Structure 1
Amino acid sequence: MDFRSDTVTQPSEAMRQCMAQAKVGDDVYGDDPTVNDLEHWAAARHVFESALFVTSGTQANLLALMAHCDRGDEYLCGQQAHNYRYEAGGAAVLGSIQPQPIENNPDGSLDFDKLAAAVKPADFHFARTRLLSLENTINGKVLSLEYLQQARQFADRHQLRLHLDGARIYNAATALDIDIAELVAPFDSITICLSKGLGAPVGSLLLGDREYIEKARRIRKMLGGGMRQAGILAAAGKMALQDPIPQLRIDHKNAQYLASELNQIHGWSVNTQFVQTNIVFAKCPDELDGEALCAYLMDRGILVTPGNPMRFVTHNGITETAIDQMIAGIKQYQAM
């Protein structure tokens, strides 16, 4: 029972069979029919001109930033943004792109007045502000379609491109009960992670217009991301995208149940207002030894990540029964 992340999802037996039977070729030559099918299908499904299959969400975000920005340019993002905090500084190290982080509001959004103040004037003393990057979901919280449309207007007003780190964008679409194409329509480019809640073992997509994706494809090769018989992975990616909503609804329902149960434990607190998808942050008792709790639960086959707040993630490997067992384990530990 692994509550650490939805990156731990396992491919189903049907997905394994699909992978085993996939037709393959050399993707660097453009000869892999299954990769080509995934890219064409994904572009049409999300209403973009083109798509690129890559190894990971981190690579997809790096390609997105490098294809939008030149050396010495700047992108605006949130302080909590994954492509700022958790991707090893790749944009700065490999792209010579300066991040300009803005404090996230409690709901995950960015304040447009603060963003406007951060846009640099046309003066050679400053980096050139080229891009606004948003993330949806952000720590499990959902940015509304109305907010995303306002972001489009902001980007147009300041002559910026607009990128979405959509690692969990299908979770957002599920929570809002809106078609994915409508939700991503405001953006010039988006990424989608296939190996989180969608359940594929490996891979992400970058989508944009044809010229942009061709630039990103060249950068992918430069970064060592060209793959050969990658259709084995692409087959799983397409299967993951074709009918994800039923499972994601279950994941969200389980997250709500988990939050409710955690709130019943002495000293634990979850702000259920922000449990909108499959991620739960719980404030632990100050006296709790998080490392010891994690070790206690691990001995019982339950994996969690220490911290305060402690993050729990629901996915296709987590059932209501698994949640009950973890809750019981926490109570047993605190009673010792």
Structure 2
Amino acid sequence: MPSLTDAKLQELSSQIAVDVLTKTQDVDNVAKLEEVSRSFVSDTLTIPAPEMVAYAARASLGDDVYFEPSTAVLEAHIAQLTGKEAGLFLPTGTMSNQIALRTHLLQPPYSVICDARSHIYRMEGGGMAFHSGANSVAVAPSNGHHLTLEDIEPEAIMGTDVHIAPTRVIALENTLNGTIIPQDEIVRISSWAHQKDMKMHLDGARIWHVAAETGLSLKELCGPFDSASLCLSKGLGAPIGTCLVGSKQFITKARWFRKVFGGGMRQTGYLAGAAAYALTHNFPLLPRVHALAKRMQQGLEELGVDILSPAETCMLFYDPYPIGVEYWEIVERAAALLKPIKLTGSRLLLHIQTSPQAIEDFLELVRTLKEEKVAAGWTLANAGPRRRPPNVYVKAVRPSA
């Protein structure tokens, strides 16, 4: 085979080369931070601060499928923090939850009990069925806030009836849509589940918010669970990553499934460094986020807007119908402001980069819309009452002409 000439190599190289940076990349990044600070869509939109990037760039340079030093330190730290024996760094919370279930669920048939509103049930692409062949038993909390043992026990499947798949795992989410499950209720559920030889899994994507709001340690919050998934890219603002924790035996098998799921990563030191910076510097910012969420709730209540789910931590759900306004009207008018605000519907989610001024601008917009409706003769008495279900996301949709 003829050897590659310098000219041919140069030609191929010019075809392959790419520059992903814009001509104004630094300015664009500053503008992006401004956009994120005025978005109430998700805390996944947060961007790494320059200090985070600088710290992460100094992390180790190993291959995590073999061994990556900085990643191993992060895994061990989060395991120790949560009172577990071992940890496993994963790219996403969805993968972490699904690998946890796949590791717990040994031999079908089996079923998993979870909250009907939970991410693991509604937002992970049917992963329980796809990856584990598990039946989902989705339970709605009778109190409208959180599952209790009284909700779960009647839905648990035990015995030898061949028509139904026995319950093997109870999966709870804390926070769930921003609300906190009382720890004493989690302990009750866990004690009962373990007596019945069931496993407990925690989707703790925003468990950091629970710790920041209640003062409970991560060890206490995760103690009732056999496994827990802790997201690093939501409330804490790391660019990517979730840590799954459990026993050594559990994590050994989970690491195997990570490879099967395609989650084995290479040079993850940079990501571990960013996560470590987030744990150290961003966790203390969470109480401020909670205060901003409470300020938003207060402002909406003063305007007569319905609060469907209160601001216990970083988010709230609202319904503007009592003042004659639809979600789509708010979304469109917010996007048209001189300094736009990004919204999607009933959920308002705040984060460590949220601008306090954006909250005041949002409340002023809602006030303006209310005044316009009143001037047009709108009254709630004429329209009739409407109550949206609590804690359920409703997307803003403009009606067809």
What TM-score do you get using the length of structure 1 for normalisation? Answer: 0.93
For the Cα contact (< 8 Å) 1:302–1:326, is it kept in 2? yes
Deviation at 1:56, TM superposition (A): 0.8
Bigger mean CA offset, 10-19 vs 50-59: 10-19
Distance 2:205 2:334 in 1: 28
For the Cα contact (< 8 Å) 2:293–2:314, is it kept in 1? yes
The answer to whether structure 1 residue 284 and structure 2 residue 320 are counterparts is yes
The answer to whether structure 1 residue 69 and structure 2 residue 108 are counterparts is no
Bigger mean CA offset, 145-154 vs 250-259: 145-154
Deviation at 1:183, TM superposition (A): 1.6
For CA contacts below 8 A with separation 6 or more, give which structure has more relative contact order. 1
Residue-by-residue CA offset, 1:266-308 (whole Å, 9 max, x unaligned): 4x12257x321111111121653322321221222201112xx
Residue-by-residue CA offset, 1:119-178 (whole Å, 9 max, x unaligned): 223323321211111111111111122112112211122211111110111111111122
User: Which of 283, 295, 305 matches 2:344?
Assistant: 305
Distance 1:105 1:139, change over 3 A: farther
User: Which of 201, 208, 230 matches 2:268?
Assistant: 230
Extract unaligned runs of 5+ from structure 1: none
For the Cα contact (< 8 Å) 1:9–1:199, is it kept in 2? yes
Partner of 1:125: 163
The answer to whether structure 1 residue 5 and structure 2 residue 7 are counterparts is no
The alignment covers a number of residue pairs equal to: 330
Distance 2:183 2:256 in 1: 32
Which residue identity lines up with residue 362 of structure 2 in the other structure? M
Which residue identity lines up with residue 342 of structure 2 in the other structure? L
Which residue identity lines up with residue 288 of structure 1 in the other structure? V
Partner of 1:325: 361
Q: Secondary structure at the match of 1:28?
A: coil
Residue-by-residue CA offset, 1:213-240 (whole Å, 9 max, x unaligned): 1111111111111111111111111222
- Kindly report which structure 2 residues correspond to 1:1-336, keeping only aligned pairs within 5 A, or say none: 1-29=38-66, 31-70=67-106, 71-106=108-143, 108-123=145-160, 124-266=162-304, 268-270=305-307, 274-285=310-321, 287-300=324-337, 301-306=340-345, 310-336=346-372
Deviation at 1:330, TM superposition (A): 2.5
Distance 1:302 1:230 in 2: 34
CA root-mean-square deviation: 1.7
Kindly, what percent of the aligned residue pairs are identical? 32
Q: Secondary structure at the match of 1:281?
A: strand
Distance 1:152 1:259, change over 3 A: same
Q: Secondary structure at the match of 2:65?
A: helix
For the Cα contact (< 8 Å) 2:231–2:241, is it kept in 1? yes
For the Cα contact (< 8 Å) 1:163–1:189, is it kept in 2? yes
Distance 1:325 1:137, change over 3 A: same
Q: Secondary structure at the match of 2:296?
A: helix
Distance 1:144 1:113 in 2: 14
Partner of 2:4: none
For the Cα contact (< 8 Å) 2:57–2:273, is it kept in 1? no
For the Cα contact (< 8 Å) 1:254–1:319, is it kept in 2? no
Distance 1:312 1:289 in 2: 15
Residue-by-residue CA offset, 1:166-222 (whole Å, 9 max, x unaligned): 011111111112222112111111011101111101111110001111111111111
Deviation at 1:115, TM superposition (A): 1.6
Which residue identity lines up with residue 208 of structure 1 in the other structure? G
For the Cα contact (< 8 Å) 2:96–2:229, is it kept in 1? yes
Distance 2:341 2:126 in 1: 32
For the Cα contact (< 8 Å) 1:164–1:190, is it kept in 2? yes
Distance 1:37 1:81, change over 3 A: same
Extract unaligned runs of 5+ from structure 2: 1-37, 373-401
Name the larger-Rg structure.
2
Partner of 2:387: none
Which residue identity lines up with residue 71 of structure 2 in the other structure? V
